[in-house]
Chain A
Amino acid sequence: MKILEVRDLVKSFGGLRAVDHLSLALDQGQILGLIGPNGAGKSTAFNCIAGVYPPTTGEIYFYEEKTNNQKPWDLCKKGLARTFQIVKPFASKSVLYNVMVGSFATTDKRSEAREKAVEILESLHLADKKETRAGNLTIADRKRLEIARALATEPKLLLLDEVMAGLRPTEVDEMVTIIRNLREKGITIFVIEHIMRAIMALSDWVVVIHYGKKISEGTPEEVASDEKVIKAYLGEDYAVS
């Protein structure tokens, strides 16, 4: 079943067409990778899907329901959660507080929200930092907190916007394991990433965009050997001989 379908999505800001006739689809339980050079329109596409901006033209379907003009908070309640490329923790509050804001999406009771937040923090190995102020976390922990908060809303589809940028190689490996575990739990994942090693290891299907247009798609291996992708994004070093 298609959990998310984007048809002919266009998003213009004045004269700039950030996303240009992009179409893609995600099946239940899949991990889809979206890659492309800086400024290709990846985050803009995410923002349209998550309800931050309405698309200029085109349609977005979440569970076969058209969600073009729905607001982020409504989409969240329907099971769509996202993280931000530039992390946005509630910096003056504790880690636990941050995650509880997410878990209040599914309950009105403080005790239940707290219980669920603790559970999620434990699963992401953040439980020992639950009383730390979010502003004092390292970048790796902040990225993890972004995921924890999003997970607390009990999403069916999770949009991850560069959760590995700025991490050390060992931390990237940990993050890959975390994302795989999420898929095991049945969460469908749509990920934007620049770290090719991670994208190759994670994705079932990869979409490449350049200047807002889709230039290629396929399995990670197919995409990595595509002439156009090598030219626009990867560089000659990645050419698979």
Chain B
Amino acid sequence: MSEFAAVMSSVTVEYPSAHGTVTALRNVDAQFRRGTSTAIVGRSGSGKSTLISVLSLLRRPSSGVLTLDGVTTSTLSDAGVAALRSTAIGVVFQSYHLDSSLTAAENVMLPWYFYSDSGPRRLARHRAAQILAQLEIGELADRRPSQLSGGERQRVAIGRALFPEPALFVADEPTGNLDEDTANSVATTIFSLPSLFGTTVVLVTHDSTIAAMATSRLELVKGELR
């Protein structure tokens, strides 16, 4: 097993636009060691979310190589990317994106519906309950999102990202919709994931207090890492 959960080598992402090609990331080299946490900071438009979308395999780089959990992703087919995404990556967004018709536990086990090798429903339900308990909201497992506070909803979203036991947990402004106390509490939970679950955390934030909780910090300026 590689000592790095993710390695980016000369990753460049370009978009076509009405004014020509926009370079969102330029020759980014980064290594994310297993069991660590990294905060990505930068101004709006610096490429933070693009970096997260590349790390979470939702966008392919225009050039460069991304290696995830020891797998070189540039050679993977779309199906291969989807399979790797379902097993090696957990993503949390600023919006919680919880389904209102499902309970908290069912939202956590959402990846189970799309990954046929993930065992019977009973086991999936048990694992979802365990994750929620570790995130200190075990008693809310049967509640629906409308019965949860903002912080609780984001914890459920974190639980969903952790469900497949991912090598890499990526979060894009996960505290952006929360008040300060709740944001700190959620951030504390996220930065405890390496010790709780052994996962590697990469988090994008505007908040310097939250960034300071990470093991390391990277700053993006106009698509380049500083």
Q: Do A and B bind each other?
A: no
